[in-house]
Amino acid sequence: MKRIVADITSFQRKVYDVTSRIPRGFVSTYGAVAEEIGCRSCRAVGQALKRNPFAPVVPCHRVIASNLSIGGFQGKTGGVSIIRKIRLLEKEDVMFRNGRLADPARLFRF
DNA sequence: ACATGTTCCTTAC
DNA sequence: GTAAGGAACATGT
């Protein structure tokens, strides 16, 4: 039986929980996740997602920056990984344009 | 658009 | 324990 276990902090736990709550076809922002968790540190959220011990389990690609920019992915603000992120989102009806969210209505609010 | 300050967590030494 | 970094945000220039 496969059980998901990892040495993570409560903070990370919350981050992954909130992130996984984002429905398919929607995206959220670091700020929103941070707010939902209860802290004002969006960077801390980025830290947790960057490490992402639950990589395939947690859709970290559904989390973007609050200014609707794609933000970063796997520790970078650009590169092939970002393209992959956009590609995945486009597959979920979330269109991006020039590294930015084309339709702000896709923003999911908790 | 760019630089700076803020804010909080993780990792490394 | 201290220092540095990290996928952001807000504000001022």
Mean pLDDT by 10 residues, chain A (110 residues): 63 90 94 90 90 84 92 87 90 91 90
CA/C1' separation A1–B7 (Å) = 40
Please report the pLDDT score of residue A110 as a whole number.
86
d(CA A5, CA A25): 28
A39 among known catalytic residues: no
Please report the pLDDT score of residue A6 as a whole number.
61
Please report the pLDDT score of residue A5 as a whole number.
60
Please report the pLDDT score of residue A74 as a whole number.
86
- Residues A66, A42 contacting (CB under 8 angstroms): yes
Please report the pLDDT score of residue A62 as a whole number.
93
Q: Choose the catalytic residue: A22, A60, A64, A101.
A: A60
Residue nearest to nucleotide B8 (CA to C1'): A41
Strand B contact nucleotides, protein CB < 7 Å:
7-11
